[in-house]
A and B are shown apart, each in its own frame.
Chain A
Amino acid sequence: MSDISISERHVGHHWDTAEQEESAARLGMWIFIGQEFLFFGTLFVAYIIFRVFYPEMFHEASEHLSWKLGALNTVFLILSSFSMVLAIRSAQTNKLKNIGRYLWITFLFALAFLVVKGFEYDAKIVHGLLPSKWFTAAGHEPTLHLFFGMYFAFTGLHALHVIVGMGLILWLIRKANRGQLYPGYHTPLEMVSLYWHTVELIWIFLFPCLYFVG
């Protein structure tokens, strides 16, 4: 049944088959993800250097962060990824109406993540922990600003990825509503799902690194 839709689907003229098209898309996506690992890797290396140099400062900094909010956000991202794979499964099993529903659930979990992040940012800014000239917090450690410089760079870049992902999810919802995702063709869904898992993956490491220091 799905074989028919795959052969009927319009394949880009530079591809021999739909399978070839999909596997090329996958390869490109994985190269991009490899680049993302390296990109965030630089920040993790900065983290390691500062942590080895100033362990006491990290201990003090961790008292400014609430691991409960971090854990809540971890749960939100894990659940959003779960509903993302359910959206793919709906496309594969021809339950086309469910694609949009699961994508909306993914979107709402992502939004919840950003709302929690917003509350955290607000508390940091109120306490004068925003780096650069806004940093007014007086701690015991003179290097406290280094941690929060990293904290905002890390979580800010990650939040930017979440926002981009939310835009992509809205784009997919529109595609799903137009009936452009179905068992024979759902490559955009698969690619955004890979991206979304990458966002989840980065957070999985950010969570213990930033919130579990003390």
Chain B
Amino acid sequence: MSNSEKSLHPIRPLRFYVAIVSSLLLLTAVSVVIHLLELGVWSSVLTIVVASVQALIVVLFSMGLRYEKGFTMIFVAGSFLFLIFFVALTLADVVTRGDMFNKEHRNYKIKTPVKPMGQGTEHHSGEKKSHESREH
């Protein structure tokens, strides 16, 4: 039995890697075309879909996840699953807020204007002093 069959990362023909790199480059071109077509919201959705396909190619074939052991898969699938939870729950929140900000006259102050960093630093140093004096 040759080593290439035993190893987790067997030697593959050159055209396997050429196929990967050319499909990745082709998909990059596809996403540029989608962007230039200016399909509005669909542009964003489709370019993310194309990026996901590229990501799948990289993870499964370039990185060889397809040939990994099941135990490794548990960790990768686990982190991916929690990423999905994170994104899905965030989206479920922010997308369904509706016009709450308009109704409340935006008094949540998320849209704070830029403030130079110098302002308010005196306040912080004062706070620190009072904190120190409390300790003594």
Contacts and interface: CB of A to CB of B under 8 A. Distances in A.
- Asked if A pairs with B, the answer is yes
B114 A34 contact: no
A1 B55 CA distance: 35
Interface string B1-44: 01110111101101001001100110010011011001000011
A142 B113 contact: yes
A92 B21 contact: no
A85 interface: yes
A3 interface: yes
Interface residues of B, number: 59
A72 B8 CA distance: 33
B28 to A, nearest CB: 5
A86 interface: yes
A85 B17 contact: yes
A194 B64 CA distance: 9
A66 interface: no
Contacts of A86: 17
Nearest to A132: B117
A27 interface: yes
Contact of A3 (B2, B63, B71, B78): B2
Contacts of A44: 87
B25 A208 contact: no
B51 A200 contact: no
B11 A49 contact: no
B2 A208 contact: no
Contacts of A204: 51, 54-55, 58
Interface stretch (A35-43, A119-127, A152-160, A163-171): A35-43
A2 to B, nearest CB: 4
B59 A48 contact: no
Interface string A64-82: 0001000100110011011
A130 B53 CA distance: 33
Contact of A135 (B35, B62, B86, B114): B114
A205 B111 contact: no
Interface in A65-123: 67, 71, 74-75, 78-79, 81-82, 85-86, 88-89, 92-93
Contact of A194 (B63, B83, B116): B63
A30 B38 CA distance: 38
B9 to A, nearest CB: 6
A30 B94 contact: no
Given A19-B8, A26-B72, A30-B65, 5 more contacts: A19-B6, A71-B32, A89-B11, A208-B35, A208-B50
17 contacts: A2-B4, A19-B7, A22-B7, A30-B75, A37-B80, A37-B83, A45-B86, A79-B21, A82-B21, A133-B118, A142-B111, A201-B59, A207-B28, A208-B31, A211-B35, A212-B35, A214-B38
